[in-house]
Structure 1
Amino acid sequence: MIRILHVVHGMDCGGTENIIMNLYRNIDRTKVQFDFLVHTEKRCFFDDEIEQLGGCIYHVPYYNMLNLFVYKKALHKLFSTHNEWIAVHGHLGSCACIYLSVAKKYGLYTIAHSHAINEKRINLKELLYRFHAYLTRGVADFYMGCSYEAGVDRYGKAITNSKKYKIINNGIKADDYTFNEEKRVAMRSEFDILDHYVIGHVGRFSAVKNHNFMLEVLAELKKFNADYTMMFVGDGELRKTIELKAKNMGIADSIVFTGIRKDVPSVLQAMDQFIFPSFNEGLGIGLIEAQASGLPCIANKDGIISLANFSNLVEMKSINEGAQAWAHHIDSVRKSNFVRKDMSSYVKAAGFDIVEVTKWLQEFYINIKR
């Protein structure tokens, strides 16, 4: 068995973390085992499952640019006392140039993985992030990303167009998402929304996901029909802000906040349509899952890359058209009496089946030469 060290901020329930866990659950752990280097001392959402699957979790201080000496010292201590890893797979971009450089000094193969596209607005924090990300270009032995665009944004065209870059599709277990009427009724009963028409979203509460726009869309939908309900699946730093805004808008009673769920494939069954107005996404795993579930979707064409739209279920619409235009489209789909169908063959044909994604990655790890 070989061991790979994955570097993240913390294994909480976010898009990147879910993707890593999908890979971890499906890889042959008699051949490849994952360990995790986290930049937090707190216990995280997936920690118990990681340890049950045989992985170890190691902690270093969160890098804040003022503690470079302390941070590098912790990394040297870690790598000098552990020789079980053949490679370091870095998912945390803000300090990848540092931890990958230290890992290379101890003979480890280094992989940088881009899961997102940087925010378009420029501020000091963003500039510092881009500076560190740029330095990674001269450090890693190999580069991965969830899309071509995510690679170009982080590593530039020269690397992304080279043999040193590989798109790793955000794979899911396609059959888990197949529409099931019994699950739908059970989920809708759990959330007490049996008689509601539900517009759903899965994603963390952060600025890039654009929850404010979703509230505006819901307010417009309520003008068409009082039974419109919005379901938010996830958690994050802006959740309380969104809850307060919904209350001030008078639509809080028409929103279901599920929090973090381990059963997202089942929760998707409860929805009638899916909304995804993100400002920018490296890919958008939520949109992949929604299509796999057979949901009609509406997504921001200025923030979602074409790779994420692999079916005829997605309406690509600019958020610049406004909440009213989005609401009109959603209402028109409702009136069309849309019928969901099994989309598993579409997921597999588009390359998003986790079995095939994991198979490639497993062989890549096994063939690494230290």
Structure 2
Amino acid sequence: MVTRGLQRSNGVASYVMNYYRALHGPEMRFDFLVIDDVGSPYYKEIAGNGDNVFLLPSYIKHPLKFFSLILNIFKKSHYDVVHCNVVNSGVPVLAAAAAFNVPIRILHSHAAQNGDVWWKQLRNKPFSALALHFANKYIACSHKAGDGLFGKRKYRIIPNAINISRFRYSEVARNKIRGIENCGDKIVVMTVGRITTQKNPYFIVDIIRELANSKVDFRFWWFGDDELNGDVQRYAEKQGVSQYISFKGSVGNVNEYYSAADVFVLPSLYEGLPVSGVEAQTAGLPVLFSDQITRETSMSVLTDFLPIDDANLWAEKILLDRHYDRSNYIRSVVSDSFDIRCCSKQMIKEYSISM
């Protein structure tokens, strides 16, 4: 399993760990090749299962060390499947897998585009072409993610599934977390995801500013951390809304926070199919998505897709959705198509040629 970081707030990492937990067993063992390691609470869990985690440096900063480690890994191990969840950094891994005759080489698309801005997309095109060449199976989390990377090539859609039971709405968890956070009757809005350009974090601050202007009593929980964290916090200070925001970083009980919040927002510039959106809907949260996100993300009547050029519209919608009665949440609203127990069977089929 090839991935770039295994942080809790990383949607791809959540996907990887969800499938790993569902599939791991005596007949299916996993090694993890983690590129650009920044540490992870999951390493202990993986090692405890008797599986390996190989930490790879940036191939741009340390190309010789990167390639040397990959070659040594493939020389010592005989893999049936290489499942690559990154495009650019995955090229040398897929190339090595092809050179060592690994029978199943999967390239998995998790995003609708390969790059935040146009020049990165242009830069990344040769990497995408090479990754497509060395892989021999293609998987995507949504049609938008698949079409964006694979074009007219045949690919299989396997959703970003979750452990449904873990994220179901809990009144106990709601009361517990709101007590800890001293929320009282305040409106609580939340988001989950890396603080990067893709997630449109400055626009989130603009939404918070509009909420503050409406004079309602609210709090905003922000889960995630990444390259723009400091810049976004400074922007929030400049907008005069820092007092409303609680930057939570990465936590192990985000499922309880979904139950405790009132509205979830994700105004991303692009997504494949966001795991956090699946989790939020499972918890019965009203969810506001960017209109740039695929409608395949919507699994219930609790979702709206809004343009990302009007922060006031988002604030108005938040104030409307806050009145939703979670006790009336229909537990069957999230279909089996996002249940890890069902989706893991699809993944086994993709691995099965060599099993």
TM-score normalised by length of structure 2:
0.93
The CA distance in 2 between the partners of 1:263 and 1:106, in whole Å, is 41
How do 1:112-151 and structure 2 match up within 5 A?
Answer: 112-118=107-113, 119=115, 121-123=117-119, 125-151=120-146
3-state SS, counterpart of residue 170 of structure 1: coil
Residues 95, 133 of structure 1: 8 Å contact kept: no
TM-score normalised by length of structure 1:
0.89
Name 2:260's counterpart in structure 1.
270
Percent sequence identity over matched residues? 28
Name 1:306's counterpart in structure 2.
295
How do 1:106-255 and structure 2 match up within 5 A?
Answer: 106-108=100-102, 109-118=104-113, 119=115, 121-123=117-119, 125-157=120-152, 159=153, 162=154, 165-255=155-245
**Cα distance per residue 1:8-49 (max 9 Å; x no partner):** 122222110111101111224122121101224653332112
3-state SS, counterpart of residue 282 of structure 1: coil
How do 1:1-370 and structure 2 match up within 5 A?
Answer: 6-13=1-8, 14-40=10-36, 43-64=39-60, 68=63, 70-83=65-78, 85-108=79-102, 109-118=104-113, 119=115, 121-123=117-119, 125-157=120-152, 159=153, 162=154, 165-301=155-291, 303-320=292-309, 322-334=310-322, 337-340=323-326, 341-349=328-336, 351-368=337-354
Q: Which amino acid aligns with 1:352?
A: F
Distance 1:30 1:323, change over 3 A: same
Residues 88, 131 of structure 2: 8 Å contact kept: no
Q: Which amino acid aligns with 2:144?
A: E
Q: Which amino acid aligns with 1:154?
A: L
Q: Which runs of 5+ in 1 are unaligned?
A: 1-5
Q: Which amino acid aligns with 1:319?
A: I
**Cα distance per residue 1:232-282 (max 9 Å; x no partner):** 112112122222221222211111211101112111111101111001001
Residues 292, 343 of structure 1: 8 Å contact kept: no
Q: CA deviation at 1:284?
A: 1.4
Q: CA RMSD in A?
A: 1.9
Q: Which runs of 5+ in 2 are unaligned?
A: none
3-state SS, counterpart of residue 11 of structure 1: coil
Name 1:3's counterpart in structure 2.
none
The CA distance in 1 between the partners of 2:56 and 2:219, in whole Å, is 42
3-state SS, counterpart of residue 220 of structure 2: strand
Residues 218, 228 of structure 1: 8 Å contact kept: no
The CA distance in 2 between the partners of 1:59 and 1:244, in whole Å, is 33
| Equivalences, count | 351
Distance 1:269 1:41, change over 3 A: closer
Residues 178, 343 of structure 1: 8 Å contact kept: no
**Cα distance per residue 1:187-222 (max 9 Å; x no partner):** 112222123111111111111111211111111112
**Cα distance per residue 1:312-356 (max 9 Å; x no partner):** 111111112x1111111222233xx3112445423234x100111
3-state SS, counterpart of residue 241 of structure 1: helix
Q: Which amino acid aligns with 2:109?
A: S
Distance 1:211 1:263, change over 3 A: same
The CA distance in 1 between the partners of 2:230 and 2:187, in whole Å, is 24
The CA distance in 1 between the partners of 2:169 and 2:65, in whole Å, is 51
Distance 1:67 1:243, change over 3 A: closer
Q: CA deviation at 1:53?
A: 2.4
